[in-house]
């Protein structure tokens, strides 16, 4: 292709104008008719071209990678599958099917649910990007107005809590009141509670837990437990039929137990997944885990849970779970840890078991609340209990096992600090109790660099994507002098 340079500092004569027009017409668009964007869809309809939104090449690429979609026979023969995947990519697709037209505020709440709340519940480091939880919950919202208003009301409550506001927004209250009104009408029309009733009740329990009303949350959960146990299948049947609601019940039960320092109401029962969902095999890796000292000296029950946590850490960034399987793994570990010894009940007589259970509980809370800006909702009782235990066990356990227990307590102090509501103050106070204790442990271990600290921390349960930045900030701003 020739280049033609035009001198713009002098007037163009007719020959120069002709050259400019000639070179401009040699572009790629010569002989093509460019259709306006707004008419392309209409043009395809007129031509009878019904190409699916997702091309088959996308499915083959995903199958060859780590992210595996549920198999369908064919895109053209399975329009429901194509529509479901479209909902995942665009949550506002087909919003005319919703129980009421979307306003600007409800559209914002729906967007936040799909792009913020879902990422919090199902982090991409563990979960597939196209997960089944999003379109399953969207289908519930389409089918039932109660679930629609509950989802938007609770999303608004979450957003206000994470921003540090104690009061619920007017829009959230409007949706929750509407959901309760619809629930009252539904219960008066049908004698047996429907699935939407469970969604409303558990939403009220979650809202009570967000505003730190432990007694109100317990009342809602106890009533919900009575209703669920009166139906055939109980919680197990509910988790199989509607896993997203079952997981919300289990997680709220754990949050209540951590806030009140009690056992879980529903217990540590297994939650079978629906047979049609994508499931990754996980049993073999946990059995091969070799525990570091002194975790291998704890009780057999704690050792089994520690192996499950190590296996979970090894999946981060390498294995993509389905949304429901990931939540089931997290909740199963959490439930067993909470029920091992309630925070306000008798503590284990063996100090190592006591500190290990608290450390693993705090670590799991940092996975559930993996965003550092949102760890303010972690259990204050759990944080304070571990803080007291660290003061008691620091000297009594370190003296007989200086080296092995020093690295273990280094991990405990870092996990406690990054999960604590006082994390920012620890980062800015080089004379805090955490900073002094960590420096004493570093002297025992003869560690001076962050690389050595990082290597020591990663020998225990640790996920760099969740804990690395917070731990390094604590090291650089609060510990190094």
Q: What pLDDT, in 10s, does the model give residues 278-320?
A: 667 666 666 678 899 899 999 999 999 999 999 999 999 888 8
Give the model confidence (pLDDT) of 79-119 as tens digits.
444 444 444 444 444 455 676 777 788 788 777 777 777 77
Q: For 382, left (φ over 0), alpha (ψ -120 to 50), or beta? A: alpha
**pLDDT tens per residue, range 401-457:** 556 688 999 999 999 999 998 899 999 999 988 998 899 889 888 998 999 999 999
pTM for the structure as a whole = 0.76
Mean pLDDT of 237-260: 90
- Neighbouring C-beta atoms of residue 34, cutoff 10 Å: 6
Tell me how far apart the alpha carbons of residues 336 and 254 are, in angstroms, rounded to a whole number.
Answer: 10
Task: Report the 3 state secondary structure along the chain.
Answer: CCCCCCCCCCCCCHHHHHHHHHHHCCCCCCCCCCCCHHHHHHHHHHHCCCCCCCCHHHHHHHHHCCCCCCCCCCCCCCHHHHHHHHHHHCCCCCHHHCCCCCCHHHHHHHHHHHHHHHHHHCCCCCECCCCHHHHHHHHHHHHCHHHHHHHHHHHHHHHHHHCCCCCCCHHHHHHHHHHHHHHHHHHHHCCCCCHHHHHHHHHHHHHHHHCCCHHHHHHHHHHHHHHHHCCCCHHHHHHHHCHHHHHHHHHHHHHHHHHHCCCCCCCCCCCCCCCCCCCCCCHHHHHCCCCCCCHHHCCHHHHHHHHHHHHHHHHCCCCCECHHHHHHHHHHHHHHHHHHCCCCCCCCCCHHHHHHHHHHHHHHHHHHCCCHHHHHHCCHHHHHHHHHHHHHHHHHHHCCCHHHHHHHHHHHHHHHHHHCCCHHHHHHCCCCHHHHHHHHHHHHHCCCCHHHHHHHHCCCCCCHHHHHHHHHHHHHHHHCC
Give the mean pLDDT of 324-351: 91
Least confident range from 14-18, 161-165, 318-322, 472-476: namely 161-165
C-alpha–C-alpha distance, residues 473 and 219, integer Å: 41
Segment 175-190 shows an average pLDDT of: 85
pLDDT at 159 over 60: yes
The pLDDT, as a whole number, for residue 56 is 33
If you average pLDDT over residues 226-255, what whole number do you get?
88
Q: Residue 28 pLDDT > 90, yes or no?
A: no
The tokens for 395 are 């000297």
């Amino acid at each position: 292709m020739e280049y033609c340079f035009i001198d713009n500092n002098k007037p163009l004569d007719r020959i120069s104008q002709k050259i400019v027009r000639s070179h401009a017409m040699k572009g790629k668009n010569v002989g093509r008719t460019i259709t306006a964007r707004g008419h392309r869809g209409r043009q395809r309809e007129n031509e009878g071209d019904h190409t699916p939104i997702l091309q088959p090449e996308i499915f083959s690429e995903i199958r060859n990678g780590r992210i595996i979609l549920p198999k369908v026979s064919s895109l053209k023969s399975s329009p429901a599958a194509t529509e479901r995947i479209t909902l995942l990519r665009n949550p506002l697709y087909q919003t005319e099917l919703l129980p009421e037209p979307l306003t600007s505020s409800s559209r914002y709440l729906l967007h936040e649910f799909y792009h913020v709340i879902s990422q919090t519940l199902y982090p991409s480091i563990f979960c597939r990007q196209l997960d089944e939880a999003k379109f399953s919950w969207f289908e519930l919202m389409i089918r039932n107005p109660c679930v629609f208003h509950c989802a938007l009301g609770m999303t608004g409550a979450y957003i206000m809590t994470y921003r540090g506001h104690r009061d619920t927004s007017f829009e959230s209250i409007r949706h929750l009141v509407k959901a309760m009104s619809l629930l009252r009408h539904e219960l008066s029309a049908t004698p047996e509670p429907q699935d939407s009733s469970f969604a409303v009740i558990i939403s009220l329990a979650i809202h009570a837990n967000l505003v730190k009303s432990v007694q109100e949350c317990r009342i809602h959960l106890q009533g919900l437990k009575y209703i669920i146990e009166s139906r055939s299948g109980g919680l197990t049947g509910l988790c199989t039929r509607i896993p997203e609601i079952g997981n919300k019940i289990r997680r709220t039960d754990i949050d209540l137990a951590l806030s009140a320092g009690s056992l879980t109401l529903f217990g540590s029962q297994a939650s079978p997944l629906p047979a049609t969902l994508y499931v990754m095999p996980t049993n073999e890796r946990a059995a091969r885990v070799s525990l570091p000292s002194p975790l291998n000296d704890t009780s057999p029950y704690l050792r089994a849970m520690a192996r499950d946590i190590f296996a979970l850490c090894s999946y981060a960034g390498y294995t993509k779970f389905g949304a429901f399987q990931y939540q089931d793994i997290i909740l199963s570990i959490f439930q067993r840890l909470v029920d091992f010894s309630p925070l306000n009940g008798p503590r284990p007589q063996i100090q190592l078991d006591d500190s290990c259970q608290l450390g693993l509980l705090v670590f799991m809370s940092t996975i559930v609340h993996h965003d550092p800006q949102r760890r303010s909702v972690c259990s204050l009782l759990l944080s304070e209990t571990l803080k007291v235990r660290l003061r008691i066990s620091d000297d009594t356990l370190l003296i007989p096992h200086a080296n092995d227990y020093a690295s273990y307590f280094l991990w405990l102090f870092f996990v406690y600090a990054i999960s604590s509501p006082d994390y920012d103050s620890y980062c800015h106070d080089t004379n805090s109790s955490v900073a002094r204790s960590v420096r004493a442990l570093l002297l025992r271990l003869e560690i001076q660099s962050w690389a050595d600290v990082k290597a020591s921390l990663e020998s225990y349960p640790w996920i760099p994507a969740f804990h690395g930045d917070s731990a390094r900030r604590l090291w650089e701003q609060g510990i190094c002098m």
